[in-house]
Amino acid sequence: MSVNLQINPRKKNKQEDILNKEARHLLEAFNKKKPLTDKEKKEKEKIQHEKDMQKRRRAKRFYFYFPKKYRETIETEAKYAGFNEPPCLFIYYMTQVFLFAAVVNLIYLIVVLQSPLWLAIIPPILILSVCFSAPYIIYTMLAESRRKQMEVMLPDILMLASANIKSGLTIDRALLFAARPEFGALGSEFKKVAFEIYGGNDTEESFTKLTTRIKSQILERTISLLIEGLRSGGAVAKLLEETATDIKNTEMLQREIRSSVMMYTIFIFMAAVLGAPVLFAISNFLITSSSSMWSDSIPSGDMSAMPNTGFLSISAPQMNLESFGYFSIAAIVLTTLFSGILIALIQSGKAKNGIKYTPIFMTIALALFFVVKHVLLTVFGGMLGMS
């Protein structure tokens, strides 16, 4: 007599769920970290502080290998951008990133693309040269952005200071009450000047220090006028009010000038960034197609089969397609570089402001060149029997 014992599958699933839940709770309880004591927290903070100090010491040693003039220029631009500490860590990490990119690029060109050594060295050299100039470019752009923000707020803070002086306050208290939080970095800088004057420092020296922290011609002229007014004992309140009005009028004139020269900017952009890449792509396609047709008509390369009339001799064009492709890329890069500089000169009168336009122009132009070239080869290459 045989007895068959069968377990209910629902009951079995319930038991498995219970076991899984208990195991999960045990794992969670095991993985829970115990709260650190105050002693352990201090030790952890001390270890982290030592690691940070080691990084800073390595960055400083690496930073001092750069030329002194280069370091002074970078530090000046960093101060104008609002950074008080030397940019050691920033340059240290940026150099590591660019060096890694240069090595990867060199390996890719030699191993994957199998480019010749003289050609494979050029992109890494360009990457390292960009690494050398990138900190200056970044800090200059940040300083320029900071300058624009401050110049927009400068008339308002001068009007408030003028109103405070008219109400009977001294110059330091007038600046202190005018430096409101909504003025941002400019308010903080004027507050520093007010505290320096209130602490007994020389008034002219305190205002002169302000121009070393902010790179702005408008602010320098304003401070110069204010110092002259304080020396001569003139009406400082009226001077500040008229200066604020002049700054606003100048800003309005600059906006009108920028809007009037916008057509020139659009024309340069269309010609350099859109027109030149398309024309170079068409030229590359025509040269490729003509070379393909000559090679198809003379497969053996024997030119004796071609007709010769005595006065006219027909021969295949002697053109290196690879060299013309490199020439096209170099021409596009140079064209976009000078177009960015020219647009910056038209808009702001400063050539270095073209730094923010040039990388975008180069990217768009090169992408358009390769896309148009690929489209032409794909659409018309099959009709002409090009592989």
Q: Which long-range contacts (CB under 8 A, 24 or more apart) does 298-301 make?
A: none
> 74 and 156 share a domain?
no
Q: What is the pLDDT of residue 231?
A: 80
Average pLDDT of the residues of the chain: 77
Maximum C-alpha span of the chain: 125
Residue 6 lies in a domain: no
Q: What is the pLDDT of residue 239?
A: 83
Q: What is the pLDDT of residue 76?
A: 86
Given the structure tokens 């631009």, which residue do they identify? Answer: 77
Residue 312 lies in a domain: no
CA quadruple 72, 78, 79, 83: dihedral, nearest 10:
-130
Q: What is the pLDDT of residue 22?
A: 61
Q: pLDDT at residue 4 above 50? A: no
Higher-confidence position of 170 and 293: 170
> 365 and 268 share a domain?
yes
Three-state secondary structure along 8-43? CHHHHHHHHHHHHHHHHHHHHHHHCCCCCCHHHHHH
Given the structure tokens 């050691």, which residue do they identify? Answer: 88
Instruction: Please answer whether residues 163 and 177 qualify as being in contact, where contact means their C-beta atoms are separated by less than 8 angstroms.
Output: no
> 119 and 160 share a domain?
no
> 266 and 240 share a domain?
no
Number of domains in the chain: 3
Residue 13 lies in a domain: no
> 135 and 171 share a domain?
no
Whole-number Cα distances in Å, 286 to 142, 151, 272, 365, 381 = 45, 53, 21, 19, 10
Given the structure tokens 């952005």, which residue do they identify? Answer: 145
Q: How far apart are CA 160 and CA 171, in angstroms?
A: 12
> 244 and 273 share a domain?
no
Residue 8 lies in a domain: no
Structural domain including 62 reads 50-142
> 209 and 164 share a domain?
yes
pLDDT digits over 48-80, tens only?
778 778 888 888 888 888 888 888 888 888 888
> 185 and 129 share a domain?
no
What's the mean pLDDT in 355-362? 82
Residue 223 lies in a domain: yes
Residue 270 lies in a domain: yes
Q: What is the pLDDT of residue 5?
A: 44
The helix/strand/coil state of 308 is strand
Residue 148 lies in a domain: yes
> 166 and 215 share a domain?
yes
Pick the closest to residue 92 from 139, 131, 59, 46 (CA basis). Answer: 59
Residue 76 lies in a domain: yes
pLDDT digits over 298-333, tens only?
554 454 555 555 555 555 556 667 777 778 888 888
Looking at 86, 118, 142, which one is the last position of a domain? 142
Q: What are phi and psi of 308, to 5 degrees?
A: -135, 115
Q: pLDDT at residue 122 above 50? A: yes
> 138 and 153 share a domain?
no
DSSP per position, 162-195: HHHHHTT--HHHHHHHH--GGGTHHHHHHHHHHH
> 216 and 280 share a domain?
no
> 271 and 368 share a domain?
yes
